[in-house]
Amino acid sequence: MKKSLLTISLITATLFISGCEEKQNKINRYIQNWTGVNGVLEVYAGEKLVKRFIKIDKLSTATSTEGKLSRTYRYGYGILDENLNFKKDVNEKKVYFEISDYSTYVFFENPGQ
């Protein structure tokens, strides 16, 4: 009885997890939001890198104050890496930033730190 109950539970959990990719993504995002990500946001003007923010926990999508419509920008907090060296220097501080969906940017986890 216990063995069959365990088997049914495992099959149900497997179907639940494998059957819904969006739920997997939500679980992964929840874990990352809780643990944080050592993120880097680079903003480009054409092919030229013009801004870099480091040590970002997450980017959030802005939503309207009434309703669930997404706005056309994302926001977060990070250190403005003014000299683009991937390090927090003495004069560099944590700042709030917003980035338009129409901007050219790349967000990635910093593998070096």
Express each pLDDT in 5-29 by its tens digit: 555 555 556 556 555 666 666 655 5
105 close to 43: Cβ distance less than 8 angstroms: yes
| Terminal Cα distance for the chain, rounded | 49
Give the SS3 label for residue 84: coil
The answer to whether 113 touches 80, Cβ cutoff 8 Å, is no
Q: Which amino acid is at 46?
A: G
- Spatial CB neighbours of 67, under 8 Å, sequence gap ≥ 6: none
Is residue 68 located within the same domain as residue 86? Answer: yes
Do 31 and 74 fall within a single domain? no
Residues 18 and 30 in one domain: yes
Q: Are residues 26 and 55 in the same domain?
A: no
pTM of model > 0.75 = no
Domain containing 68 equals: 37-113
pLDDT digits (tens, 9 = 90+) for 58-112: 888 877 777 677 788 888 999 999 999 999 999 999 999 999 888 899 988 887 7
